[in-house]
Each structure stands twice: as structure tokens, then as C-alpha cells.
Copies of this chain bind each other. A is one copy, B any other.
Amino acid sequence: MLKEERHRLILREVNIHNKVLIADLTDKFDVSEDTVRRDLHELANSGKIQKVRGGALSKSYSGYSYHEQDIYAYREKNLIARKAVSLLKDGMLVLISGGSTNLEIARLVPPELKVTFLTVSLSTAMQLLEHPVSETIFIGGQLSKSAKISVGGEVIGKLSEVRPDICFLGTNGIDASAGITESDWEVVIVKKAMIQASSKVVLCAIAEKLNTVQRIKVCDMSQIDLLVTELDPQSELLTSYRNTGVQLA
């Protein structure tokens, strides 16, 4: 087994399960503990993982000292994110918004994939920077204190100049008849522009948010190409959405 190959597999493992144990790896690769230890050290020194006693953990990105709020319903969001990243292909231009689901997507982008990300979210951007090869472009503008994303005319202008292949959107309210809704006016404007700009719009939401409605409308379900939830696409909880014609995953 080649060193590079081990490194690749280790990275994949860490990205999916958030941790690896030295014991597991020695077993899996059939090499000595020392070799695995050295592998982990190298990966850690190049900043790809965090070495800890007994194994390694995924790198909790902490540029300086900034502690991302811990994620509610992590398991579900992780599952959604895994479905979402499988849509990515080399060379794509990807527009991605904020929120914890998108943060998880950003974290799970396969290390070898080379795409260009466009984002308006500070946290998402911070996470995307951890990716070894992909490029990240932040769309600047006035920052919204509540959503921690760029908002305003500047952003809308920039969005009208690009044509992303795919757009990952999070949301608070999703309902088969009311469509996608949000509570923050400025955020709605930006999301509308994001949808407008993109060839394909992927909406990510945990089942808990299904059939909820917020105050301001972003768009109809018809504008969404693909809806990703943690549920099985066949689930009957999704029936009303299936009837709108949206694709499910």
C-alpha cells in the first residue's frame, strides 16, 4: 500500500466520520502503528487533520479564535450534506449560502475535488478555506448582523454577473404551497438573486422545517430543482412536495 494512497483514504475517513483511530488504520492498511502514526503526523503538519492521542480528528477550523456555534440536529444535517456534495463535479462554479447545513456541506467537500465556490456567508467561507484545492470567492457588501452574510445592492449586482452551475440554498420555511419563506427581508432579496443567477437550485432542509412558513416569500417550489432532506426520497412525508414536481434526494 502506497503512502499517498493511505493518506487519501485517511482523509476521506476523517472527513466522513470526523475521526480515525490508529488501531483501525493499522488493521485496515496492514502496516505498523508507527507508519500510521507518521501518516497522521504528516497530514496534521500540512494542516489537513488534527492529530490527537490515539488517532486524529477532523480539523475544527479555528483560524484565530473563533468558535462556531455547535450544530443543532447534526446527524440529520450531516446526512443531507453527504447527499449534497455528491452533486459536485470537477470544475463547477458553485454558489452556496449560509446556515449550518451549508456549513456542513462545505466541510464535506471531497478533498480532491476542484471547484470554485462563491459565497456570501462568513462562516461558510471560513470553512471553505480549509479545502486544499478549491478556490473561494467571497461576494462582499454590507454585512447583516443577524444572518452574517453580505446583503444589499452590491451583492445583487455581483450575482447578476455570474452564472453558477449549481446553488446550495438553506432555508427556514418550506411549504409545498407557500414555497420558500424567510423572516429577514434583506436575506430574502439576496436569496432571490442567488436563485435567479443559478442554472440549478438545490434546497437543503431538515424534515423539521417541512411545512413551515415564515413571513416573507423567497420563491415558489417550482423554482427549486432539487430538494434534499435527511429522509428517504420515497418517504410519504414528502408526498406534497413530490406533487409540485420538484426532484427529491
Contact = CB atoms under 8 A, between A and B. Distances in A.
A97 interface: no
Q: How many copies does the complex hold?
A: 2
A140 B158 contact: yes
A63 B138 contact: no
A158 B18 CA distance: 39
A226 interface: no
A67 B67 contact: yes
Nearest to A139: B140
Given A3-B52, A54-B2, A145 B122 contact: no
A63 B122 contact: yes
Nearest to A63: B69
Nearest to A50: B4
A126 interface: yes
A115 to B, nearest CB: 14
A100 B135 CA distance: 24
A64 B124 CA distance: 10
A75 to B, nearest CB: 12
18 contacts: A2-B19, A5-B52, A63-B69, A63-B122, A63-B123, A63-B148, A64-B66, A64-B67, A64-B123, A65-B67, A65-B68, A65-B100, A66-B67, A67-B67, A122-B125, A129-B143, A135-B142, A137-B141
Given A2-B54, A65-B68, 15 more contacts: A3-B52, A4-B50, A4-B57, A5-B19, A16-B72, A62-B70, A63-B123, A63-B148, A65-B103, A122-B138, A125-B143, A129-B148, A136-B143, A138-B141, A140-B140
Interface of A: 2-5, 8, 11-12, 15-16, 18-19, 21, 50, 52-55, 57, 60, 62-72, 74, 100, 103, 122-123, 125-129, 135-143, 145, 148, 150, 158
